Structure 1
Amino acid sequence: MRPTDAHLVRALPLFCDMAQPEFDALMQASYLQRFPAHVELVAEGDSADFLHVIVDGMVELYATHGDRETSIVFLSPVSTFILAAVLVDKIHLQSARTLHASRILMIPAELIRAVFQRDGAFARAVVNEMAERYREVIRELKDQKVRTGLERLAGWILRNATVKDGILTTLIPFEKGKLASRLGMTRENLSRTFVALESYDLTVTGRTINCRDPAALESLARLNRLIDEV
């Protein structure tokens, strides 16, 4: 692993306060691998053998039931998955695959559990990480339960937007079908919802979304710090 990569991992809240010898032991036992897009990294139902750290690229966590599939979350650098299964040595409840070419650091699960027992700072960081993930799940559940599809899409656009010269721009970093799944919609519903947003001076060109009336979009979405952490 390059020193710059180790520095990125070390800066994560999960690892930043742990003892240096323990961090070095984790890195020495880890594997940094490159994966092309659309490679399955983790399958739901499999044992959690590694904690994964995304150094470059993007990863989708998803789940299936019969012939149905849904996206759960999209992860960008630098972030980890799936800590809960690693910590309690249980099977994965969700799958993971690369959306873009990615570099993934794989840390052996048994070593994570061993360091958790030895290093108090790391143990506290693990508890904090788990608490934050729990709160994310609650926010996501509330977003799905109390908002309409129109409001969810408007909120996603706003949370991922940049604004320049009064024009709001959001880039969809994956195919629109993935966005539909992430928002709990079908592709057809997503298309109809984009059409409905045209009345808010919003246009979609390919994967680029532009809105010339951000205030109207904000009024529709009604962003809430108890859901969106704004």
Structure 2
Amino acid sequence: MRTQDIDEMRRLPFFRDVEAGNVDAMLRSAFLQRFPAHVELVRDGEPADFLHVIIEGTVEMFSGHRDRETTLGVSGPGESFILAAVLLDRPYLQSARALSAARILMLPADAVRQAFAADAGFARALAAGTAQAYRGVVRELKNQKLRSGLERLANWLLTHDVECGSRGRFDFPFDKKVLAARLGMAPEVLSRSFAALAAYDVVVRGPSVCINDVDALRKLARPSPTIDGTNI
């Protein structure tokens, strides 16, 4: 990496409590790369050679079996993937691809494990990341098992609206096909669900969404802090 890139990476919150020498050791062997949209970054079943930290862009975690494929999650700037495989030195259990143009820091897995063993601050950061990922899996499991598809969509719309500044208007951050898979439904079911939301004054035109009655949508969604967090 260039000197200015190394200086930028040192300031990542990811390294906030890590000893400077250990940060430098990881960065000396790391890569900072730009990827165009739709490029596959890691593949299910392959060895976990790098810990990836997203600097810019969005990344989709997905997996397939036989002739089926589904989205498992979407990550953005400041988030890492797929941490558990790196720490355990095991194959990836999911694949990842860039949903948009992305800039990603790639830390060699061996260097990550060495720093994890040697640096308590780094170990705490990775433990916190693993715990957050686990809680995310539990939230998603509850979301999928305890809600209808329409309720999942309503909660996703409310959550994304908050992320966009609670203006009641936003563009989809990725293709609707990805959103359908993310919510555990077929694309045609997603289309019918959007049509059903017209009764709650939600208007979808192409890539744009307008939530005209947030209270009505909230009554349908019934957001829960143990599933959706406390922001909606």
> What interval of TM-score do these two structures reach, taking the shorter chain for normalisation?
over 0.9
Aligned residue type for 1:196 = A
Q: Deviations over 1:43-67 (max 9, x none)?
A: 0000000001111111110010101
Letter in 2 for 1:163: S
Equivalent-residue separation in structure 2 for 1:210 and 1:111 (angstroms) = 46
3-state SS in 2 of match to 1:72:
strand
The reply on whether 1:98 has 2:101 as its aligned counterpart is no
Distance (Å, rounded) in 2 between the aligned partners of 1:106 and 1:182: 25
Q: Name the SS of the counterpart of 2:92 in structure 1.
A: coil
Pick the aligned partner of 1:163 from 166, 185, 206: 166
- Aligned residues of 1:9 and 1:78 also touching (Cα < 8 A): no
Larger deviation: 89-98 or 76-85? 76-85
What CA distance in whole angstroms lies between the structure 1 residues aligned with 2:132 and 2:4? 28
Once the 2 structures are TM-superposed, how far is the Cα of residue 158 of structure 1 from its aligned partner? 0.3
Shift of 1:7: 3.8
Q: Provide the C-alpha distance between the structure 2 equivalents of 1:163 and 1:121, rounded to a whole number of angstroms.
A: 35
**Structure 2 residues not aligned, in runs of 5+:** none
Query: Structure 1 224/4 Cα, relative in aligned 2: closer, same or farther at 3 Å?
Result: farther
Partner residue of 2:108?
A: 108
Structure-2 separation of matches of 1:170 and 1:73: 20
Whichever residue aligns with residue 16 of structure 2, its letter is: C
Instruction: Report the 3-state secondary structure (helix = DSSP H, G, I; strand = E; otherwise coil) of the residue aligned with 1:73.
Output: strand
Distance 2:9 2:219 in 1: 38
Q: Contact conserved, 2:10 with 2:23, CA < 8 A, in 1?
A: no
What is the root-mean-square deviation in Å for CA atoms of aligned residues?
1.4
Q: What amino acid sits opposite 2:108 in the alignment? A: P
Residue in 1 that maps onto 2:73: 73
Query: Is 1:137 the counterpart of 2:140 in the alignment?
Result: no
Structure 1 alignment gaps of length 5 or more: none
Q: CA deviation at 1:182?
A: 0.2
Decide whether aligned partners of structure 1 residues 163 and 131 sit closer, same or farther in structure 2, where only a CA change above 3 A counts.
Answer: closer
Change (3 A) 1:190 1:30: same
Hey, what does 2:32 align to over in structure 1? Answer: 32
Match of 1:175 in 2: 175
- The superposition leaves residues 15-69 of structure 1 with CA deviations (integer Å, 9 ceiling, x where unpaired) of 2101011111111110011111111110000000000111111111001010100
Q: Distance in 2 between matches of 1:42 and 1:11?
A: 22
Q: How does 1:1-230 map to 2 (within 5 A)?
A: 1=2, 3=4, 6-7=7-8, 10-12=11-13, 14-161=14-161, 162-164=165-167, 168-230=168-230
Contact 2:6 2:27 in 1 (8 A): no
CA contact 1:151–1:220 (8 Å) conserved in 2: yes
The 3-state SS of whatever aligns with 1:70 is strand
Q: Deviations over 1:64-94 (max 9, x none)?
A: 0101000011111121111100000000000
| Alpha-carbon distance between aligned partners in 1 of 2:196 and 2:106, rounded to the nearest angstrom | 43
Percent identity among equivalent residues?
Answer: 48
Residue 2 of structure 1: how far off its partner (Å) = 6.0
Cα pair 1:157 1:170 within 8 Å, conserved? no
Structure 1 residues 157, 123: closer, same or farther in 2, change over 3 A? same
Please state how far the C-alpha of 1:4 moved relative to its aligned partner. Answer: 6.5
Are 1:29 and 1:108, in contact at CA under 8 Å, matched by a contact in 2?
A: yes
